[in-house]
Amino acid sequence: MKRLFDNLLLDLLAAALMLGIAGTGYILRFPLPPGSNKYLILWGLTRHQWGTVHFWISLALLAVVLLHLALHWQWVVLTVRRKLAPARTAPLSAWFTGLLTLLIVGSLFTLFALAAHRGVEKITEPREDTCPPPAATSPAPTPASKGPIAFWRDVYPILDRACVSCHGPRRQRGDFRADRPGDYLTPRQGKPLVIPGNSAASPLIAILSGKQNIARPDVHRLSAAEVEILRAWIDAGAPWPERPE
């Protein structure tokens, strides 16, 4: 009797987890489609967070399936040895019960889908796990109007405003920190972000000028004047002197 209860409990748990996977998968595909992580939220969670929920439910289902196999391994071995007997036609009552179950599950999932679509909200304020676009500022002066480029006066304020919020001490998106000179010179995908003396070949300029196709171009693209300052800095060898006191 206890074995029967254990089997029933495992089956119910597996069914609940499968429904959870289907539900979170539906959320990730329709109400919160790819690319919506920074704009949409459902029941307090972003798409990325729903993906985490989906992952852990999947892991739990895998554990339940493995446990189920372990408890019935002897039966599995015996069944394989005997070879499966020809399947019998299910009686009408079993068909009716199966169809009724499918109807109930389908209705519940439809209600869930409607609730998910109605529950989607637009994010009005930046969340801690998202990076806001750079704050609007007045156009940066061009190098010609200010003379030689000074890193701490002209260059670093641009990097600090546009990059450090997502690539700084608090968050390091892409394992990159914009406040450390070595990170600009570390090869990424075979090439560093900054090639001293050659701004035209530096990926940083392509990213910040909008010429390289990346996620959230509105976050990364800078004004032409700011890009020009960074170009001049890189062409001058990308110096990063000690910070003045």
Residues 116 and 22 in one domain: yes
Residues 28 and 118 in one domain: yes
Residues 118 and 164 in one domain: no
**What burial class does residue 172 get, using C-beta atoms within 10 Å of its C-beta: 0-12 exposed, 13-18 middle, 19+ buried?**
middle
What are 22's two structure tokens? 């289907």
Domain-embedded: residue 138:
no
Residues 116 and 166 in one domain: no
Block residue for tokens 């010609």: 144
Give the Cα separation of 71 and 6 in Å (integer).
10
- 125 and 47 Cβ atoms separated by less than 8 Å: no
Residues 80 and 157 in one domain: no
Residue-wise pLDDT for 42-75, tens only, equals 998 888 899 999 999 999 999 998 888 888 888 7
The parts of the chain modelled with pLDDT lower than 70 are 1, 38, 83-95, 97-98, 123-147, 213-220
Q: What angle do CA 191, 194, 195 make, to 5 degrees?
A: 80
Domain-embedded: residue 128:
no
Residues 209 and 118 in one domain: no
Q: State the residue range of the domain holding 159.
A: 151-236
What are 70's two structure tokens? 């372990």
Domain-embedded: residue 24:
yes
Residues 69 and 117 in one domain: yes
> How many domains does the chain fold into?
2
pTM of the shown model: 0.46
Sign, CA torsion 77/81/83/85? negative
